[in-house]
Structure 1
Amino acid sequence: MSRRARREPRRLTRWWRRRSLRTRLTVIAATAIAVSVFVSFQVASELLDRELQDTAENQLRADARVLATNAERAGLAKIQLSPYTGSGRLVRVVLPDGSTRTPAGQPALPPVSEHAGRVARGASADLMESHDSDDDGYRIYTLRAGDGAVQVAGVTDDSPINQFGFGMLLIGLLCVVGGALVGRTVARTGLAPIDRLTAAAVRVAHTRSLDADIPDEGGGEIRRLIQAINDMLAALRDSRQAQRLLAEDAAHELKTPLTSLRLNIELLVRLDRRGTLDTALSAESRTRLLNDLGTQVAELSTLAAELTDLARGDVSDESTELLDLADVVVAAATQARSRVPDIEVALDVTSVWVSGRPAALQRAVLNLVDNAGKWSPTDQPVHVRLRAEDASAVLEVDDAGPGIDATDVPRVFDRFYRADSARALPGSGLGLSIVQRVVDAHGGRATVGRSARGGALLRVELPAATPPAPIARRTAGEDTAAR
Structure 2
Amino acid sequence: MTVIAATAIAVSVFVAFQVASELMEGQLRDTAQDQLRADARVLATSAERTGPARVPLPPYPGSGRLVRIVLPDGSTRTPAGQPALPPVSEPAGRVARGASADLMESTDGDEEGYVVYTLRAGDGAVQVAGLADDSPINQFGFGMLLIGLLCVAGGALVGRAVARAGLAPIDRLTAAAVRVARTRDLDAGIPDEGGGEIRRLVQSINDMLAALRDSRQAQRLLAEDAAHELKTPLTSLRLNVELLIRLDRRGTLDSALPAESRTRLLTDLGAQVAELSTLAAELTDLARGDVSDESTELLDLADVVVAAVTRARSRVPDVEVTLEVTSVWVNGRPAALQRAVLNLVDNAGKWSPPGRPVHVRLRAEGASGVIEVDDAGPGIDAADVPRVFDRFYRAAGARALPGSGLGLSIVQRVVDAHGGRATVARSARGGALLRVDLPAAASPAPVAPR
TM-score range, shorter chain: over 0.9
2:75 is the counterpart of 1:102: no
Could you tell me which residue of structure 1 aligns to residue 113 of structure 2? 137
Q: Deviations over 1:414-459 (max 9, x none)?
A: 1101111111111111111111111111111111122222221111
What's 2:270 paired with? 294
For residues 13-412 of structure 1, the aligned pairs below 5 Å read: 25-131=1-107, 135-412=111-388
Give 1:133 deviation, angstroms.
Answer: 6.8
Cα distance in 2 between the residues matched to 1:425 and 1:261: 17
Q: Say whether residues 1:434 and 2:410 are aligned partners.
A: yes
**Inter-partner Cα distance in structure 1 for 2:91 and 2:209:** 86
1:467 match: secondary structure: coil
Q: 2:394 aligns with which of 413, 418, 421?
A: 418
Letter in 2 for 1:429: G
Match of 1:5 in 2: none
Deviation at 1:351, TM superposition (A): 1.7
Gaps (5+ residues) in structure 2? Answer: none
| Corresponding residue for residue 13 of structure 1 | none
Q: CA deviation at 1:83?
A: 3.0
- Superposed displacement of residue 37, structure 1: 1.3
User: Given the two structures, how large is their TM-score scaled by the length of structure 2?
Assistant: 0.95
Amino acid at match of 1:348: E
Larger deviation: 47-56 or 423-432?
47-56
CA distance in 2: counterparts of 1:134 and 1:332, whole angstroms: 110
Structure 1 counterpart of 2:54, one-letter code: K
Cα distance in 1 for partners of 2:110, 2:231 equals 106
Compute the RMSD of aligned alpha carbons: 1.9
Which whole-Å CA distance do the structure 1 matches of 2:167 and 2:308 have between them?
57
Partners of 2:434 and 2:106 lie apart in 1 by 101
CA distance in 2, matches of 1:47, 1:309: 80
Write the distance in 2 (CA, Å) between the matches of 1:448 and 1:303: 23
| TM-score normalised according to structure 1 size | 0.88
CA contact (8 A) 2:86 2:108 kept: no
**In structure 1, C-alpha distance between the alignment counterparts of 2:245 and 2:108, rounded to whole Å:** 120
Report if the CA contact (8 A) 2:47-2:55 is conserved. yes
Match for residue 464 of structure 1? 440
Aligned letter for 2:363? Answer: R
1:158-215 deviations in Å (ceiling 9; x for gaps): 1111111111111111111111111111222222222222222222122111122222
Tell me, yes or no, if structure 1 residue 443 matches structure 2 residue 413.
no
Shift, 1:388, TM fit: 2.1
CA deviations over 1:354-410 (Å, ceiling 9, x no partner): 222121111111111111111122312222222222222222221121111111111
- Aligned-pair identity in percent equals 86
What's the CA shift for 1:87? Answer: 2.5
Residues in 1 aligned to 2:240 and 2:443: alpha-carbon distance in whole angstroms: 54
- In 1, Cα distance between equivalents of 2:357 and 2:99: 122
Give the 3 Å change call, closer, same or farther, for CA 398–124 of structure 1 in structure 2. farther
